[in-house]
């Protein structure tokens, strides 16, 4: 008998892995044998996954909650499955899909069924990843058409900005000197100056209309 491991993955540090950890606990896996990555499933360049693969020996077993927790790239999933089962001679069990348990029926028919189910689920997982990216891109494009701006909001202007700005506009100092006095990069000072000037113009127009 080999060692039983669990592999858990969430896509970001903000996401909660408790549901997967509970599933691992219910299978009887020791917590020290559960490897957790908080990283995208687009590839397998993940530190804890790589540690697990390096430790894996013949007759060991890896549990994953679902195939998309292993990864979301069709070709990569198939390659890692091959490495685990054929190079390492270990087993894999996907908790949410009992057919994907390489300990079952290690004959030609059993292997064929497992490979077929794996190929289908891997394709579905990658297709979902592609669809998520497409929906995100479409959502961002739609928001931009509505005038939504993305990125961090600029911080407040330094107290000396109006005075430095006026001296710069009167060409008493260079943009480099002005930026230095305001504690900004030159490009930032120039960008904030344009916005400051536009805000002043808008305010003047508003007063004229009143």
Mean pLDDT along residues 89-100: 87
Q: Which range has the worst mean pLDDT, 12-16, 93-97, 171-175?
A: 12-16
When pLDDT is averaged across residues 134-161 and rounded to a whole number, the result is 71
Please provide residue 90's backbone torsions phi and psi, each rounded to the nearest 5 degrees.
-105, 180
The pTM of this model reads: 0.56
Give the pLDDT band of residue 206 (cuts 50, 70, 90).
Answer: very low
Residue 158: what pLDDT? 87
Q: Could you tell me which residue, 121 or 78, shows the higher pLDDT?
A: 78
| pLDDT score recorded for residue 137 | 66
Dump pLDDT digits (tens) for 19-76.
Answer: 999 999 999 999 999 999 998 877 888 999 999 999 999 999 999 998 888 887 777 8
Q: Are the CB atoms for 193 and 157 separated by under 8 Å?
A: no
User: What's the pLDDT score for residue 204?
Assistant: 47
Of 93, 30, 88, which is closest to residue 61 (Cα–Cα)? 93
Q: What is the rounded average pLDDT for all residues in the chain? A: 81
Low-confidence winner among 81-85, 126-130, 202-206 (lowest mean pLDDT) = 202-206
Of all residues in the chain, the percent with pLDDT exceeding 70 is 72
Task: Using the predicted structure, report yes or no on whether residue 101 has a pLDDT greater than 80.
Answer: yes
| DSSP annotation string for 44-69 | S--HHHHHHHHH--TT-EEEESSHHH
pLDDT number for residue 126: 62
Assign 153 a pLDDT band (cuts: 50, 70, 90).
low
Distance CA 202, CA 177 (A): 27
Nearest-angstrom CA–CA distance, 91 and 76: 17
DSSP-derived secondary structure for 191-210: HHHHHHHHHHHHHHHHHHH-
CB 140 within 8 A of CB 151: no
Residues 175-200: tens digit of each pLDDT:
889 999 888 888 888 888 888 887 76
Are 70 and 7 a contacting pair, CB within 8 Å?
yes
Higher pLDDT, 14 or 20: 20
Q: Is the dihedral of CA 6, 72, 82, 87 positive or negative?
A: negative
* Per-residue pLDDT, 150: 59
């Amino acid at each position: 008998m080999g060692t039983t491991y669990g592999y858990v993955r969430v896509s970001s540090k903000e996401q909660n892995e408790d549901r997967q950890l509970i599933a691992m606990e219910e299978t009887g896996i020791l917590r020290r044998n559960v490897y957790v990555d908080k990283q995208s499933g687009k590839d397998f360049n993940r530190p804890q996954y790589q540690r697990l693969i390096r430790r894996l020996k013949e007759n060991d077993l890896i549990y994953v909650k679902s195939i998309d927790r292993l990864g979301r790239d069709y070709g990569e999933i198939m390659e890692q499955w091959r490495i685990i089962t054929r190079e390492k001679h270990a087993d894999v069990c996907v908790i949410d899909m009992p057919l994907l348990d390489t300990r079952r029926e290690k004959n030609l028919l059993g292997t064929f069924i497992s490979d077929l189910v794996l190929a289908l689920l891997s394709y579905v997982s990658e297709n979902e990843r592609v669809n998520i990216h497409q929906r995100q891109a479409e959502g961002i494009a739609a928001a931009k058409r509505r005038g939504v701006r993305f990125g961090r909001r600029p911080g407040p202007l330094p107290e000396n900005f109006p005075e430095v700005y006026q001296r710069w506009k009167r060409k008493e100092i260079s943009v480099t000197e002005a930026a230095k006095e305001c504690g900004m990069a030159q490009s930032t000072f120039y960008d904030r100056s344009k916005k400051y000037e536009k805000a002043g113009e808008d305010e003047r127009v508003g007063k004229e209309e009143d």
